[in-house]
Structure 1
Amino acid sequence: MAARFVTGRPATVAQPLVDLRREPRMECGIDHQLLRGEPVEIFERSGDWAWVKAGIDGYVGWTAVSALDNKPLEASHRIIAPRTFVYPGPDLKIPHSHALSMGSLVAIDGEAETRGTRYLQLAGGGFIVARHAAALDELASDYVAVAQGLMHTPYLWGGTSGFGIDCSGLVQLAMRMCGRTVLRDSDMQAASIGEEIDPGKDWSNLQRGDLVFWRGHVGIVEGEGKLLHANGNTMDVTSEPLTAAIERIERLYALPTGCRRP
């Protein structure tokens, strides 16, 4: 972390996905990830590393200088599919160059159609399938449904994308797709999202969309007695009976610390 106050310099995430770490070392674990197009402020540089503050949720950490662009992005669309390939031309038969995650911000320069499939041309080059993106003002309305669309995404500590995600990253990304910005870590979410509720005897007061918190973990009430969460037990985003999850986690750790209604 920067030891003195300085004015941040604006930049934009230029790679599909970048890691934020507590220290400027590759050996240091991932705390958070930023998606392409996200704005950041650079406060310090150390060799090939930059200490940045994320423009969307305020998270701070070290990332590679090479992952950032000093030019602002006038984004017009965001990726709404869990993952989408970027092609050099408007044709799904040619090799893709890279992939983008749900939530990535892009600017669109044009459109094309090949064999009935419509593509959007990205500013700076590349094409994506048009139905995998939506204008920034076209928001999802059901964050639980968004999270369900990420089912079986691999679990990744610190992950926030369709390539790998953790428990609080799932909550944050799903809510972001509905136009709601929430904090990153589960303890932050437990102190700030919505209002605290009494889950009732046998958890019977919980409704679809409520959040169940443990120390260091969070899950989404899916409805019909199910919990949706990214977890280290199955190592992916999965749905399971709420009571079974509570019993299993209690055996290993403890009971939930609280529940909130967004």
Structure 2
Amino acid sequence: MDLRTTPFNGRVAHVSLKGQIEADRFVEGELMRVVYSIADFFRAPHGARDRQLLSGQAFRVLDIQDEWAFGFSEYDGYCGWILYQALLATEHTTHRVWTRESFWRAEPELKYDALDSPKYLGSEVRVFQTTGDWSCIGPDQYMPSVHLKRIEDFETDTVAVARRLLGAPYVWGGNSARGIDCSGLVQAAFRACGISCPGDSDLQMNMAGIALDAGDPLQPGDLLFWKGHVAMATGPDAMIHANAHHMAVVEEAIEPALARISATDTGPITLRLRPSLPTG
């Protein structure tokens, strides 16, 4: 049983697991949304960070223990613990941030100081009304409308989305421009394009798609996997990835990168994957 994808904490389980496991309670859970700019997602209370959720993203709470909430991300089903104070039961979102990073201000004015609560690429908001070039997302909260896209307006180029995060610092388990890891970069790009994508590289290896032979030319959006690492091809000879060698998101030539990575404990490429994309 993979605890990352099984909504069960040893005591409470999601109703979808009835008849499959034994649990004290089976619940539907409560849908809540992240109110922090970034909320760390832990494998256990006070444990190691596995991933992150961003402001406005949905989390289904199945159990609460002290200050911790157990549940799963509505987007990919990733399970874990989040600080309960980082969540709020709120209405559906209408827009998401498509730029690398945005902000909100207390007044819809360009020269009004931005408050220290950034919204990162992929964050979701509810727009109540627009005032000129500004979108009201709450009481005394205004964001530049140009930084937002409607939730249903997906992008079409995963590489273009990934390139928006060039230079972002490498952070294990990170999912934002403030800090991101290899699988977080891939997920951010695919999520912006409306494509289902798990959060960790070993799970991403099982995405629907075509396994490529070593001699097959790479296309933009193809994925390259190593043990514990993933990169996205930006063309036949280049790739983009968040990595600990550069401690950042970089785009580089594939062949020198292959030689460098193969000389480490990561080893050689294990899979070249052309993910299946939605049609129509």
> TM-score, structure 2 length as denominator?
0.86
How much has 1:199 moved relative to structure 2? Answer: 2.6
Aligned residues: 252
Once the two structures are superposed, what CA deviation does each residue of 1:193-247 show, in whole Å capped at 9, x if it has no partner? 42211131xxx62222111000100001111511100111111110111011110
- Percent identity, aligned pairs only, is 34
Give the distance between the partners of 2:214 and 2:113, measured in 1 at CA: 50
The RMSD of aligned alpha carbons is 1.4
Alignment of 1:7-156 (within 5 A): 7=27, 8-25=29-46, 28-71=47-90, 73-97=91-115, 98-113=117-132, 118-156=133-171
**Pair 1:242 & 2:254 matched:** yes
> Residue 257 of structure 1 aligns with which residue?
270
Tell me the distance in 2 between the aligned counterparts of 1:33 and 1:63. 9
Q: CA shift at 1:101, angstroms?
A: 0.7
Distance in 1 (CA, whole Å) between partners of 2:86 and 2:225 is 33
Amino acid paired to 2:175: T
Decide whether aligned partners of structure 1 residues 172 and 193 sit closer, same or farther in structure 2, where only a CA change above 3 A counts. farther
Matches of 1:184 and 1:192 in 2, distance apart? 11
Task: Say yes or no: does 1:214 pair with 2:221.
Answer: no
SS of the residue corresponding to residue 211 of structure 2 reads: strand
- Measure, in 1, the Cα distance between the counterparts of 2:66 and 2:110: 39
How far 1:158 sits from its partner (Å)? 0.5
Q: Does the aligned pair in 2 maintain the 1:106–1:123 contact within 8 Å?
A: no
Stretches of structure 2 that go unaligned for 5 or more consecutive residues are 1-7, 14-25, 276-280
Q: Superposed, which structure 2 residues align to 1:170-189 within 5 Å?
A: 170-189=185-204
1:223 aligns with 2:235: yes
Do the aligned residues in 1 keep the contact of 2:218 with 2:236 (CA within 8 Å)?
A: no
Unpaired segments ≥5 residues, structure 1: none
How far off its partner does 1:124 sit? Answer: 4.3
Partners of 2:217 and 2:236 within 8 A in 1:
no
Contact 1:106 1:122 in 2 (8 A): yes
Distance in 2, matches of 1:198 and 1:224, equals 13
Contact 2:174 2:181 in 1 (8 A): yes
